[in-house]
Structure 1
Amino acid sequence: MLAELSPALIAEVELATKLLKSKQRICVLTGAGISAESGIPTFRDKQTGLWENYGVEDLATPDAFIRDPKLVWSWYQWRRQVVADKKPNPAHDALAQWQYHAQSSNQQVTLITQNVDDLHEQASSTVTHLHGNLWCNRCSQCERPYPNQARNSYSGENALSFDETLMTCEHCDGYIRPDIVWFGEALPVDEWQAAENAATNCEVFISIGTSSLVYPAAGLSQLAKQNGAKVIEINPDPTPNTLVDITLAEKAGIILPLLIQEITSL
């Protein structure tokens, strides 16, 4: 209920509702904050247990994989175990509901994510992944996708285990790596082009649970603003971003269900 929010936040939600009801082309970018509400640690969270003495340069760069592929593969298998039982939260569900509703209305809701989990897909959203997919693998040499890369290969009957043993490509003998965009690597061309197009052509750009610090994804809001779009930020800890027109300073799981209910109501 809107009444449970502060008067200032209610006013911002009402502004956002009025704006979004009047526009057709919406671009949504989600970041680590929305997944954190489902219990998935963000990359900036302190590593724990066996991994607390390792940094980004040891676990998530091309050089790290060349230097110690077993270490990097083991860490990603551990990450998959951490994420395996996580489910979409009300924010994911609300975005999926909005996309479904848009099919029968005059809106286009394009969803882009920096996250590598599949919680948007679990909620039945159509989403473009800028940083890859944790449940997919590919060859580190020839780039071919590795078979059995669907998430459900990691559960149920004949499950692919979280074995830390390195695997090799049947085509070139290269080591199999996670299909993730590591630090220092370029974003996938098709996905980035889709994100750029959506940001350029949108009338409203919504940033959810992202610090707006990781480029080039952080530049999407700038691109949208330059082309005349209004910018809405949903984040319990708002960023000092002068581009933002409306700030909804609350968890996405609280704000989005309320906002989408208002937008989709007759």
Structure 2
Amino acid sequence: MKITIADLLEPLARAGEVVVFTGAGLSADSGIPTFRDGSTGLWANIDPEEVASIEGFENNPDKVWAWHESMRSLFAEVQPNTGHEGIAALEALLPNARVTVITQNIDGLHQAAGSTRVLEIHGSVLRIRCHRHCGFVEHWLAGHAAPRRCPSCGAPARPDVVWFGEALDQDVFSLAAQATLDADVFFTVGTSAIVQPAASLAMAAKEYGALLIEVNPYETPFSVHADYAVRSGASEFFPALWKDLSKIVGEPGGQNASKRVD
């Protein structure tokens, strides 16, 4: 269905829970290649099983660390784009709604843009943790070598990301699932939302009555399930949404900021 931003303003102004589910397409405008985009993708000339699996880590930890360190260096050089910033701005524009970001991305750009409730279901390359789950987790500072051993128990340390063949962190996914079930408006942004178990969130939101909005410049297999499919990149869509939504609920911090459509 072809829509305009104006069609989304009243549902957003009424919402008590807004969920934004994001994938690699969102960060592409910041200069981060997606994992599967031909010769420029992060998997280009790389066997994922060698650098992003438990077996690869146990067979050749140096290779796994080198690949993650290259990603960490790349992410340190980029900034959030206007899509990230527009998503973060929803928190100020919708003061009576809880805005939850559920992301498949591991780059930390949502937090850098100012989003305060971010559920990283695939983890973050900006953190390291104990391979034995003893509880040790530490932020990986740019320019600093990551410890290869857990300082708490001596087990191998590893990037805090979900590798192929691993289950998602159940605590994080449970929070994501609850936000999904509570959602009044659910965006999918820069993702086809067909990879499980992440894809189950968008469909669950629809089944529980959320307005389901896809923001993607390309049609995806998920498009037929969306209530509205917006053929736009996030960097164009969310700043435009912010501009129009501010006319309804007031500028962030202004005297009309808490006025909502009844």
Same fold judged by TM-score > 0.5? yes
Tell me, in whole angstroms, the C-alpha distance in 2 between the residues paired with 1:21 and 1:52.
43
The alignment status of 1:110 with 2:100, answered yes or no, reads yes
Paired residues of 1:12 and 1:246 also in contact (CA < 8 A): no
Matched residue, 1:240: 221
Paired residues of 1:28 and 1:207 also in contact (CA < 8 A): yes
Q: CA distance change for structure 1 residues 50 and 150 in 2, over 3 Å: closer, same or farther? A: closer
Tell me, in whole angstroms, the C-alpha distance in 2 between the residues paired with 1:47 and 1:134.
22
| Paired residue total | 246
Structure 2 residue runs of 5 or longer lacking an equivalent are: 249-262
Tell me, in whole angstroms, the C-alpha distance in 1 between the residues paired with 2:88 and 2:240.
14
Tell me, in whole angstroms, the C-alpha distance in 2 between the residues paired with 1:230 and 1:30.
16
2:174 maps to which of 193, 207, 210? 193
Within a 5 Å distance, the mapping from 1:86-105 to structure 2 comes to: 86-103=78-95
Matched residue, 1:82: 74
Paired residues of 1:12 and 1:247 also in contact (CA < 8 A): no
Matched residue, 1:227: 208
SS state at 1:265 partner: helix
Percent identity (aligned): 37
Task: Please give the per-residue CA displacement for 1:141-198, whole angstroms capped at 9, x wherever unaligned.
Answer: 344425xx335x21xxxx414x8xx722234432211000111111112211111011
Q: CA distance change for structure 1 residues 24 and 136 in 2, over 3 Å: closer, same or farther? A: same
2:7 maps to which of 15, 19, 44? 15
Tell me, in whole angstroms, the C-alpha distance in 2 between the residues paired with 1:213 and 1:24.
26
**Residue identity matched to 1:12:** T
Matched residue, 1:208: 189
**Residue identity matched to 1:236:** P
Structure 1 residue runs of 5 or longer lacking an equivalent are: 1-7
SS state at 1:43 partner: coil
Matched residue, 2:243: 261
Paired residues of 1:235 and 1:249 also in contact (CA < 8 A): yes
Task: Please give the per-residue CA displacement for 1:181-240, whole angstroms capped at 9, x wherever unaligned.
Answer: 111111112211111011111111110011212211111111111111110000011213
When structure 1 is superposed on structure 2, of 50-59 and 72-81 the one drifting more is 50-59
Matched residue, 1:3: none
